[in-house]
Amino acid sequence: MGTPTREKLLDAGLQLLLERGYNGLGIQELLRTTQAPKGAFYHHFESKQDFALQVVDRYMEEVHQGLKLCLEDDSLPPLERIRRFFELSRDKYSRDGYLGCMLGGLGQELSGTHEAFRTRIEACFAFIADRFADCIEQARLRGEVADSTDPLEAANLLLDCWEGGALRCRLWRDPEPLNRVLDFCFGSLRAEAASTV
């Protein structure tokens, strides 16, 4: 756990990066928002890039909590655990004003110009896909998805579809693209299993 000032800056950074992106984030505005003293930013962070990468890490802490809450819930079938994670994410996007996924937003903004962000964000997505793949493998063993399903490939496809839906959700200021992604993806996974019975 860091100092209170550092934690305040990171928490404010979560919202500001969602709202404005990396290029729209101003250090002075961040200091005003948090009422942090001058010099506090560079006391805690080497640069704006260092700060934003640490905000990504903070965002992933929330993602880890959500994955643990949903994917380790043995009271739900494996596919429903993944869907529950996405539903909670959708509801959070709504509360945040349909700003979407920070990873997707920063990835679109920076991956072509900042290698550090490209590699960090891809590592985050790979971690999430690995966790989904574990549940999809459990579903495959239970006959809930086709035996020929490659769990990691399916997990990555699911994540790709979700990120596209998150972009449309942000553009429309409406959760409907996310709802359609969930219905299509989970319906497709189950339909493939049914067609092989």
pLDDT tens readout for residues 66-107 = 999 999 999 999 999 999 999 999 999 999 999 999 999 999
Single-letter residue type at 90: R
Task: Examine residue 12 and state whether it is found in any structural domain, yes or no.
Answer: no
pTM > 0.75: yes or no: yes
CA distance 24 to 37: 21
The answer to whether 76 touches 84, Cβ cutoff 8 Å, is yes
Within a domain: 14: no
Cα separation, 173 vs 153, in Å, equals 30
Tally of domains within the chain: 1
What is residue 191's predicted lDDT score, i.e. its pLDDT?
82
Q: Is residue 30 a part of any domain in this protein?
A: no
In a domain? residue 156: yes
108: domain CATH number? Answer: 1.10.357.10
- pLDDT higher than threshold 90 for residue 54: yes
Specify if 158 maps to a domain.
Answer: yes
Query: Tokens representing 194?
Result: 């049914």
The arithmetic mean of pLDDT across residues 3-18, rounded, is: 93
123 occurs within a structural domain: yes
Does the pLDDT at position 1 exceed 60? no
Q: Is residue 15 part of a domain?
A: no
- Which residue range is the domain that position 154 belongs to? 53-195
The CB density around residue 179, as the number of other CB atoms within 10 Å, is: 15
Whole-number percent of the chain with pLDDT over 70: 97
